[in-house]
Amino acid sequence: MKISTKGRYGLRALIDLAMNSTEGCASLSGISLRQDLSLNYLESIFASLKRAGIVIGIAGAQGGYVLAKPTSEITLRDIMTVLEGDMSVYDNLGEKTEIRSFLNRNVWDVIDRGVDEVLTGTTLEDVLKDIEARHTSADCSEL
């Protein structure tokens, strides 16, 4: 499985949004600058996220985007499914053979379950807490 730039950039942008919209909206231009991502590409990504109900766009001079739900309620799976679609490493189409059945059951399904477990079990809140813990740990090591 290869995650596209849409998935990778979208995930980075949403984490940035979660970190930088605690006191209001975050602008796409701000996210673009902080994450070194194309503003036009972010507009396309955020259009998909808005349609899916993950973010809310607020118009106006002080507008931008905010998360539609608390960070504890948005999983990485929610985000990646919108941006990437089906996250399976294989398709289940075609003729069933003994070898194919073995691989599906013992390799591809195992990988799919692992990916799904990580994406479903990780929320934006988890990511933010990890980033904060790393900053705190780095700050303490400088003393």
| Confidence band, pLDDT 50/70/90 cuts, at residue 24 | confident
Please state at what angle helix 28-35 crosses helix 39-51, rounded to 10 degrees: 120
Q: What pLDDT, on the 0 to 100 scale, is given for residue 114?
A: 94
In contact, 68 and 53? CB cutoff 8 Å: yes
Q: At a CB cut-off of 8 Å and minimum separation 6, what does 3 contact? A: 80, 84
Residue 73 scores a pLDDT above 90: yes
Q: What pLDDT, on the 0 to 100 scale, is given for residue 107?
A: 92
Q: What pLDDT, on the 0 to 100 scale, is given for residue 97?
A: 86
- Number of domains present in the structure of the chain: 1
Q: How many residues does the chain have?
A: 143
The mean pLDDT of 7-21, rounded to a whole number, is 94
Q: Which domain holds residue 123?
A: 5-141
Residue 118 scores a pLDDT above 90: yes
Range with the poorest average pLDDT among 79-93, 108-122, 128-142: 128-142
For residue 125, give both structure tokens.
């809140």
Residue 108 scores a pLDDT above 80: yes
> What CATH number is attached to the domain comprising 30?
1.10.10.10
| Confidence band, pLDDT 50/70/90 cuts, at residue 140 | low
Unique residue bearing structure tokens 């003393």? 143
